[in-house]
Amino acid sequence: MTSLYAPRMEDAKGRLRPFGIFFEKTLKDLIKGIRTNNTTPEKLQNFLTQALSECREEAASTDLNMKTNAVLKLTYLEMYGFDMSWANFHILEVMSSNKLQQKRVGYLAASQSFYKDPEILMLATNLMRKDLKYGGNHDVVKVGIALSGLSTIVTSSLAMDICDDLFVMLTSSRAYIRKKAIAALFKVFLQYPEALRDNFDKFVSKLEDDDTSVVSAAVSVVCELSKMNPAPFVVLSPLLYGILVSISNNWIIIRLLKLFTNLSKVEPKLRPKLLPKILELMDSTVATSVLYESINCIVKGNILDKDDYDTAMICLDRLHAFCDSSDPNLRYISCVLFYKIGKINTDFISKFDKLVFRLLNDVDVSIRSKAVELIEGIVNGNNLKNLVTTLLKQFVNEDVVLLQSDSTGIESREIPIVIPESYKVKLVHTIIRICSMDNFIHMTDFEWFNAVLWDISVLASDLPDKALGFKIGEQLRNIMVKVPSMRDSTLSTIIKVISYGNISNNLPSLLKDCFWSLGEFSNHIDNGDDLLELMINREHLYPPEIQKVIIPAILKVFTNWCNSAPNPNIERIEFILNGLLKYFESFTYSKYFDIQERAVESVELLKLVLEALKEDDEGLPLLITDVLPSLFNSYELKPISHGTQQKLQNTLTVDCQTPFLTEAEFQAILDQEESNIDDGSYSDKSLALDDEDYYENEDTRNERHSISSAFKEAETESDPFMKEEKESNPFYLADENEEKNNVADLLDFTDSKNTPESSVFISLTKHDSPQKTNESISKGEKKKKKKKSTTKVKKRVEIIPDEIVTDNELLATQQSNPNLITSNNSSSTINSYKGKINLKTNTKLANFDFFKRNDTDSLSPSNIDAEAGVEDQIELEKLRSRFGNQSLGHTQAGEGEEVIVIKKKKKSAKKKKTSRKKKNAVEEGDSAIGSL
């Protein structure tokens, strides 16, 4: 039987807690429980939910030890996603404890929870002010805890309230408190820059403190602040330079070098003063960190000029030694500085080609990636082939790292180096860039370059970056346009590319420029009919972007082929025409308007050509010999410099005022159309008969000739009249099912093969050039003829320079029509950073003007008195304007009215004196800040 006077369990636990004996679960027990229940997610979730409920009960306890234990566990559970903002008032109670350990837990929890509830900071302000007061030796740790907690939860309003207390602590006799106060002021300055402006001298005085740790903290804070706004700290350059000369602490020297890096960007006059001292420091020190920061200060601080070869060689020699280090981090940051020096002047790093070759084969792929960026600085006509070969080998060769055996008995083994796809994409971009840079300035063998483009085309088809196709196609197009002597060879490469099925499937973006080049330079091809069959044999593989280009390209190839043969085969031309009509008709139902428009225009044009070909028995009609060539050969194609087309697009103008037709011309066109309708010249019956004759002739020809696989697919419909109506009307709206099937055929890549289905030979026309070629393509492979035995000295091929459009021409274009509306493409700019996570702290320091008073200064007493005086003056002017036109001696309507004049009391002499003193103090502060 239990006695009535027996102590309860809670009382017994309460007596043992002062001795450090607890019966509740501690943080250690919580972590053990999480590890034990981590077998399944459900079990872990149940355990965490139970632990959270226990923390709620413990936080509501009046025992401060139990409350502290609950807050500590809630701080850990907050990392698992549990919200602890409900315990903010309990955290305030723990922060107010006199025990340092409990206060420390409270400030830790506040740093994780108070930012979600700004209102709780109003309650914590007085508590922080109380903790920041230094009352003796035992308060040093308490003040340090409060300063550390304040740095993590400071806001603009809290910084405004607490900044005066922090500046008072800068005069403390304890170096620990001064150091912690300086570190806390950094976060205050970010949220409340006015504190730095108004107390600049007090803060800067700590740079001359007797304690080295305080000086280090002050230099570090100034260094971090200068990254955001370096202008206010330029005036400290003499003081900082004196510290750099006299100090021997490597950490402070490193921070000073970083600080001068930021200051020299906005103050070029620092260069002649800093450079000799930094070079002297590099000669005297042996610390690798100081050497690196010295070079970094010279490079990033704009201290290194383009013509200063001596300083550049000193820096590069030190970086060369760093690249030979066994530390991969040191090699990596050295490559970064190598690249930045090369951006200043590529001649600086041109002598370090052997080093770059060695770094390209480094074990660390990140170092290889940085070494690839250095290639542009060392490339020339002599080592271009070696560089490209080295880069291409990394696609094929599998490098390994040999892990040596050690004393533990583990045998040596080889570990393969995994090359990421992002690095391979970077290699392709680099190969294209160094081969084509500066208008092919380093290219001496375009035959070799064509082979390289074919290789990287095959390699890029397996990479995820499909934009590589545009880059490779651009180079093929540039060679065709700029290097006339290499057009035959490049055409062979292009035909090989479009015949390779894997490229058509995985890299269709490459085909756009290929088809354009085939159409533009189709006069170099003898058997254009075979090329046409090759181009339309894979119509279901081409995406819409390619279809827009292939339609005019086919017309160009057809035109040049018909006019190139001395004795044209009329039957073969009719056969090709029928095939092209069938091919283009499949595009007349496209859901893309530009494709449909081009296809309809081409169909109507080819119908006219076919009719003219039937009527002319002697030879080719004028439509083929004169009209079609005039559509494409009116102007000579010339290359333009990079960026010129964008300038021309900005000068595109639209005349929105001048009408296309006058009213008389418009009425004449309407009358002409009405007369045509009355005459019946365009009757539906005649149109139907024309289409019927066309399809009868087409069926007859198809019976006489054997067609390729591209022409074998034809539509079969039950109603012949509906079939004729669909085929004759280009704007016929197909059924929904038919449209889906048509789109599916265009985007179907499943039946592709790496080689063309039929064997096609494309022969190239011989042209007189330094490099003559007579090539043919069979199944996508080029057969080369044997070279002549006579050897000739190789001359550099002629490259057509870019046509440059001067700014005067653009200005003349804009001024020729002043009433025109200029197009603006700036609205189409896409923010590349949209949707990304921003980890930067929002601060007000970057855009803060230290030399201009803020609007909050208008709340000063002197400004309030001035504003009051202005308001009185405005009221007085209103009264004067109201009664100015009235006469006191001749009152008409208001004779009985009374005028009451209220006189304001004058300010006493004491108030005037105080307002004058405040005004003078504000003016003195403005002049002091302006002098900085």
What pLDDT does 635 receive?
Answer: 76
**Dist. CA 96–CA 112, nearest whole Å:** 17
SS3 label, residue 758: coil
Going by pLDDT thresholds of 50, 70 and 90, the confidence category of residue 254 is: very high
Q: How far is CA 680 from CA 688, 690, 725, in A?
A: 14, 15, 20
- Sign of the CA dihedral running 126, 129, 131, 137: negative
> How does pLDDT run across 317-341, given as a tens digit for each residue?
999 999 999 899 999 999 999 999 9
Whether the predicted model's global pTM rises above the 0.95 cut: no
What pLDDT does 180 receive?
Answer: 93
**Dist. CA 171–CA 205, nearest whole Å:** 10
Contact (CB, 8 A) for 528 and 564: yes
251: closest CA among 208, 299, 215, 303?
215
155-159, 606-610, 907-911: range with lowest mean pLDDT: 907-911
Mean per-residue pLDDT, 843-854? 69
What six digits make up the tokens of 537? 């044999």
pLDDT at 214 over 70: yes
The better pLDDT of the pair 800, 470 is held by: 470
90-104, 498-512, 860-874: range with lowest mean pLDDT: 860-874
Residue 680 class from Cβ within 10 Å (0-12 exposed, 13-18 middle, 19+ buried)? exposed
CB neighbourhood size of 294 (10 A): 25
pLDDT at 919 over 80: no
What pLDDT does 761 receive?
Answer: 59
Q: How far is CA 406 from CA 295, 409, 411, in A?
A: 38, 6, 8
Helices then strands, each counted (H, E), the chain = 43, 7
CA Rg value for the chain: 42
Beta strand pairing status for 821-822 and 781-783? Answer: unpaired
Mean per-residue pLDDT, 21-26? 66
Residue 788 phi, psi dihedral angles, 5° rounding: -70, 150
> Average pLDDT, whole number, for the chain?
76
Q: CATH 1.25.10: which residues of the chain?
A: 421-623
The residues, any chain, with a CB within 8 Å of residue 427's CB and separated by 6 or more, are 372, 391, 394, 395
504-513, 545-554, 691-700, 847-856: range with lowest mean pLDDT: 691-700
SS3 label, residue 416: strand
Residue 831 class from Cβ within 10 Å (0-12 exposed, 13-18 middle, 19+ buried)? exposed
What pLDDT does 62 receive?
Answer: 87
The better pLDDT of the pair 160, 819 is held by: 160
Mean per-residue pLDDT, 396-407? 70
Question: What is the DSSP annotation of 528-542?
Answer: HHHHHHHHHTTGGG-
pLDDT at 637 over 90: no
Could you confirm whether domain 421-623 is CATH 2.40.70? Answer: no
Mean per-residue pLDDT, 672-677? 73
232-246, 531-545, 812-826: range with lowest mean pLDDT: 812-826
In the chain, the amino acid numbered 899 is V
What pLDDT does 789 receive?
Answer: 38
**Dist. CA 491–CA 586, nearest whole Å:** 28
Q: What is the end-to-end Cα distance of the chain in Å, rounded?
A: 86
Residue 12 phi, psi dihedral angles, 5° rounding: -65, -40
**Dist. CA 346–CA 335, nearest whole Å:** 14
**Dist. CA 710–CA 623, nearest whole Å:** 26
99-103, 435-439, 660-664: range with lowest mean pLDDT: 660-664
What six digits make up the tokens of 900? 């009451």
DSSP state of 804: P
205: closest CA among 186, 222, 229, 191?
222
Residue 335 class from Cβ within 10 Å (0-12 exposed, 13-18 middle, 19+ buried)? buried
CB neighbourhood size of 130 (10 A): 11
**Dist. CA 316–CA 314, nearest whole Å:** 6
What sections of 409-486 are H helices per DSSP? 421-440, 446-460, 468-482
**Dist. CA 357–CA 377, nearest whole Å:** 12
- Sign of the CA dihedral running 227, 233, 238, 242: negative
What pLDDT does 118 receive?
Answer: 73
213-227, 735-749, 836-850: range with lowest mean pLDDT: 735-749
Mean per-residue pLDDT, 400-420? 70
pLDDT at 279 over 70: yes
Going by pLDDT thresholds of 50, 70 and 90, the confidence category of residue 624 is: confident
The residues, any chain, with a CB within 8 Å of residue 66's CB and separated by 6 or more, are 17, 24, 58
What pLDDT does 525 receive?
Answer: 87
> How does pLDDT run across 187-198, given as a tens digit for each residue?
999 999 999 999
Element (H, E) at 654: strand 653-654
Going by pLDDT thresholds of 50, 70 and 90, the confidence category of residue 870 is: low
Going by pLDDT thresholds of 50, 70 and 90, the confidence category of residue 125 is: confident
The better pLDDT of the pair 666, 320 is held by: 320
Element (H, E) at 413: strand 413-416
pLDDT at 788 over 60: no
293-307, 336-350, 509-523, 723-737: range with lowest mean pLDDT: 723-737
What pLDDT does 677 receive?
Answer: 61
Contact (CB, 8 A) for 147 and 132: yes
| Residue with tokens 């108070």, as numbered in its chain | 114
**Dist. CA 259–CA 240, nearest whole Å:** 9
The better pLDDT of the pair 256, 683 is held by: 256
CA 210 and chain centroid, separation: 48
Going by pLDDT thresholds of 50, 70 and 90, the confidence category of residue 626 is: confident
pLDDT at 810 over 80: no
Mean per-residue pLDDT, 628-643? 79
CB neighbourhood size of 403 (10 A): 12
pLDDT at 15 over 80: no
DSSP state of 757: S
The better pLDDT of the pair 120, 707 is held by: 120
Element (H, E) at 600: helix 593-615
699: closest CA among 686, 689, 711, 710?
711
SS3 label, residue 295: helix
What pLDDT does 116 receive?
Answer: 65
- Sign of the CA dihedral running 838, 844, 850, 852: positive
SS3 label, residue 339: helix
pLDDT at 910 over 50: no
pLDDT at 599 over 80: yes
pLDDT at 18 over 50: yes
pLDDT at 917 over 60: no
Going by pLDDT thresholds of 50, 70 and 90, the confidence category of residue 623 is: confident
CB neighbourhood size of 173 (10 A): 7
365: closest CA among 397, 399, 334?
399
Mean per-residue pLDDT, 729-750? 37
